């Protein structure tokens, strides 16, 4: 269990020796790439051409079960920079600006205090609103060469070559001239076989090779500077792959990352294993930060959530890694998961939403995303391919050893019942221990927290986390037997409890008929988020006019996240046939929506009648 709020603010965990200075500590170089799974030769990908990273893996160790805690850049990076699970701080939503306690310092601040010269080249993309600069330098010019003579450095170089925006072949590129021909690509079973999808995959392998060349250049620069024997090198990606069902998705395709660590002979006593070894231990980004502190001989702050997996503060290994996702761009979807060395357990807290919502950015930059969606609409997808565009199961369990692409859901299999119950309990324990803020609608953050941060609110007794998780589990179970508890929740004094009561009724759709009167009353709830969910639920009970009137009011009076939630609901009500397109467009026309709400509004306004 995690430490109490008071200890989080005050204590520090001791380490095996005091902070050292000067030449007693290694330099540390982090090379990060964007949006790529382990599509590397050293991870067994037969189509990969990544000689520099393969050589680095021979000289170091590669982790076979390393995971970004979240499957998108800003939430993954925020988990890194804070050393804490983003959903404990309220920073689980992509491109949000959330205040965190002033006492919680960002990890480069501790390293600088210990004497390290800390540089970031160049991406930040953090979700925290605290405007402080933790780096000595963070820019295109940031470089370890600018440190003082004899000063140890910690340097990050971020490579964007494999980013989602680079997946599609550029205009004029003949895909048949690429190193990997489209016909050679072995498609994952969830992708339909179209020329467009094959072209994106083939080009992506070229982007991975280009990224590998950049890694080689950075390693050569370190050699030429005479620093390779003094520097521990990390290579990892910020989350999983850029092709559809990778980024933004909580399965291995979106969270499993390559992680290679090379430790020079001088510092070999800090290494986890001999050069060339493959490490099976599951590790997450919070553990990468703990390991960084361990290597630098810096005590780990008590509010940090990680366990060091190398160095002198090495801790007992984890049994599993905790994973989360919240809003991505303009679309909401709350999911939590655990991954151990073999199984992944997923709890979908928005099972009424598909994995493949219409996100404007990937639909814009990924021809493969558009192609897949077209195949689905045309009825040319098999069940494994169509599942991405359909509502999700409440729970998922996969044996990744026999089902690497996580296609066969084992939740209903009796032989896996014990494993399911074990991982179900472990996930609940993790969420309660950190007092997960992800069950609070984003629009309620400021309304509930007031002058406090949402973290401080969630750590208080005002947030009944155990009751809320129990109710959220019932609400998302699709079990009509939960209806009496959902009805009682609609009368609760706490708005988050009422929200999950209404959400359960929405998920039950027509089976929530006995809740109709309470849902109509909920259209007057003091919380806009409760009104929004009640309105969508009432769409399935025939109360379209009242529902749309309530949503129109939120679009005028709500805060930015309440407006965004209302727009999501309007879109799904239109998809369900509960709101005609001319009604929807009349609600939106002429309103000045800000980002990211404007993306949904523009999408709906662009649809043909």
Q: 359-400 pLDDT, tens per residue?
A: 999 999 999 999 999 999 999 999 999 999 999 999 999 999
Name the domain boundary from 387, 419, 451. Answer: 419
Indicate whether 502 and 404 sit together in one domain: no
599 and 516 belong to one structural domain: yes
The domain tally of the chain equals 2
Tokens coding 173: 């590129």
Nearest to 332 by CA among 354, 301, 312: 354
Domain that holds residue 527: 464-605
| 497 lies in the same domain as 552 | yes
Share of the chain above pLDDT 90, in %: 95
Q: Is residue 121 part of a domain?
A: no
Residues 273 and 540: their CA atoms lie apart, in Å, by 57
Residue 319 belongs to a domain: no
Compute CA distances 522 → 441, 526, 557, whole Å: 16, 9, 17
Q: Does residue 294 belong to any structural domain of this protein?
A: no
| 3-class DSSP state of 157 | strand
Average pLDDT over residues 508-518: 98
Choosing from 42, 73, 87, 505, the catalytic residue is: 73
For the stretch 167-221, pLDDT in tens is 999 999 999 999 999 999 999 999 999 999 999 999 999 999 999 999 999 999 9
Q: How confident is the model at residue 15 (pLDDT cuts 50, 70, 90)?
A: very low
Q: In this structure, what are the phi and psi dihedrals at residue 302, rounded to the nearest 5 degrees?
A: -65, -25
Q: Are residues 522 and 582 part of one domain?
A: yes
Distance, in Å, from the CA atom of 290 to the CA atom of 388, rounded to the nearest integer, reads 35
The answer to whether position 64 is within a domain reads no
Say yes or no: 478 and 575 in one domain: yes
The CA distance from 415 to 155, in Å, is 48
Same domain, 509 and 563: yes
73 in active site: yes
- Does residue 513 share a domain with residue 400? no
Residue 11: pLDDT band (50, 70, 90) is very low
State which of 401, 419, 437 marks the end of a domain: 419
Q: Identify the pLDDT of residue 17.
A: 37
Rounded to an integer, what distance in angstroms lies between the CA atom of residue 543 and that of residue 387?
29
Mean of pLDDT values over 229-241: 98
The pLDDT value recorded for residue 131 is: 77
Band the pLDDT of 3: cuts 50, 70, 90. very low
Within a domain: 497? yes
Q: What is the pLDDT of residues 280-334, one digit of tens each?
A: 999 999 999 999 999 999 999 999 999 999 999 999 999 999 999 999 999 999 9
592 with 475, same domain: the answer is yes
> pTM (2 decimals)?
0.95
Q: Looking at the structure, tell me whether residues 391 and 469 fall in a common domain.
A: no
Reported as a pLDDT band with limits 50, 70 and 90, residue 130 is confident
pLDDT at 339 over 70: yes
Q: What percent of the chain has pLDDT over 70?
A: 96
Q: What's the DSSP call for residue 340? A: -
DSSP secondary structure code for residue 356 in this structure? S
Instruction: Answer yes or no: is 534 within a domain.
Output: yes
What's the mean pLDDT in 104-125?
Answer: 97
pLDDT at 82 over 70: yes
Angstrom distance (rounded) from CA 60 to CA 42? 11
Domain assignment present for 427: no
In a domain, 32, yes or no: no
Tens-place pLDDT, residues 466-490: 999 999 999 999 999 999 999 999 9
How many whole angstroms separate alpha carbon 406 and alpha carbon 585?
39
The residue among 419, 442, 475 that closes a domain is: 419
What tokens appear for 437 in the block?
């803020």
pLDDT digits (tens, 9 = 90+) for 399-424: 999 999 999 999 999 999 999 999 99
Based on the domain organization, do 484 and 588 belong to the same domain? Answer: yes
Question: Contact at 8 Å (CB) between 133 and 104?
Answer: no
Q: State whether 478 and 577 are in the same domain.
A: yes
């Amino acid at each position: 269990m995690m430490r109490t709020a008071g200890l989080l603010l005050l204590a520090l965990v001791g380490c095996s020796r005091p902070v050292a200075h000067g030449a007693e500590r290694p330099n540390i170089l982090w090379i990060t790439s964007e949006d790529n799974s382990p599509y590397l030769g050293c991870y067994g990908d037969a189509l990969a051409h990544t000689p520099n990273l393969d050589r680095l893996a021979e000289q170091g160790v590669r982790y076979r079960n390393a995971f970004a805690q979240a499957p998108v850049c800003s939430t993954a990076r925020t988990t890194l920079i804070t050393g804490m699970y983003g959903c404990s701080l309220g920073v689980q939503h992509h491109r949000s600006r959330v205040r965190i306690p002033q006492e919680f310092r960002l990890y480069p601040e501790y390293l600088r205090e210990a004497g390290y010269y800390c540089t970031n080249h160049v991406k930040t993309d953090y979700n925290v609103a605290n405007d402080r600069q933790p780096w000595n330098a963070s820019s295109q010019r940031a470089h370890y060469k600018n440190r003082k003579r004899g000063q140890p450095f910690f340097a990050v170089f971020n490579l964007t070559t494999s980013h989602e925006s680079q997946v599609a072949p550029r205009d004029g590129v003949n895909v048949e001239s690429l190193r990997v021909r489209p016909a050679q690509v072995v498609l994952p079973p969830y992708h339909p076989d179209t020329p467009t999808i094959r072209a994106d995959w083939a080009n992506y392998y070229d982007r991975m090779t280009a990224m590998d060349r950049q890694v080689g250049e950075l390693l050569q620069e370190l050699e030429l500077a005479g620093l390779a024997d003094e520097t521990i090198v990390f290579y990892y990606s910020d989350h999983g792959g850029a092709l559809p069902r990778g980024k933004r998705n909580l399965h291995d395709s979106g969270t499993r990352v390559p992680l290679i660590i090379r430790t020079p002979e001088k510092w070999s006593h800090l290494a986890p294993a001999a050069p060339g070894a493959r490490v099976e231990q599951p590790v997450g980004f919070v553990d990468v930060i703990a390991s960084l502190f361990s290597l630098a001989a810096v005590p780990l702050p008590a509010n940090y959530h990680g366990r060091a997996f190398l160095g002198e503060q090495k801790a007992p290994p984890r049994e599993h890694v905790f994973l989360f996702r919240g809003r991505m761009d303009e679309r909401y979807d709350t999911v939590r998961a655990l991954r151990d060395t073999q199984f992944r357990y997923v709890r979908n807290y928005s099972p009424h939403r598909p994995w493949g919502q219409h996100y404007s950015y990937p639909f814009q930059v990924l021809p493969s995303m558009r192609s897949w969606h077209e195949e689905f609409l045309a009825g040319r997808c098999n069940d494994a391919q169509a599942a991405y565009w359909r509502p999700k199961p409440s729970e998922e369990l996969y044996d990744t050893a026999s089902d690497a692409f996580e296609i066969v859901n084992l939740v209903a299999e009796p032989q896996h019942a014990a494993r399911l119950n074990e991982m179900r309990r472990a996930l609940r324990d993790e969420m309660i221990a950190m007092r997960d803020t992800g069950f609070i609608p984003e629009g309620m953050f400021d309304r509930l927290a007031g002058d406090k941060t949402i973290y401080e609110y969630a750590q208080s007794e005002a947030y009944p986390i155990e009751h809320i998780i129990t109710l959220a589990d019932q609400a998302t179970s699709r079990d009509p037997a939960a209806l009496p508890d959902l009805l009682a929740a609609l009368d609760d004094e706490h708005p988050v409890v009422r929200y999950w009561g209404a959400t359960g009724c929405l998920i039950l759709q027509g089976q929530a008929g006995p809740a109709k009167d309470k849902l109509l009353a909920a259209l007057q709830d003091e919380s806009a988020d409760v009104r929004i969910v009640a309105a969508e639920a009432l769409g399935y009970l025939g109360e379209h006019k009242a529902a749309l009137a309530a949503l129109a009011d939120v679009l005028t009076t709500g805060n930015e996240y309440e407006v965004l939630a209302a727009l999501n609901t309007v879109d799904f009500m239109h998809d369900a046939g509960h709101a005609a397109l001319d009604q929807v467009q009349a609600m939106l026309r002429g309103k000045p929506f800000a980002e990211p709400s404007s993306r949904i509004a523009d999408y709906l306004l662009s649809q043909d009648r």
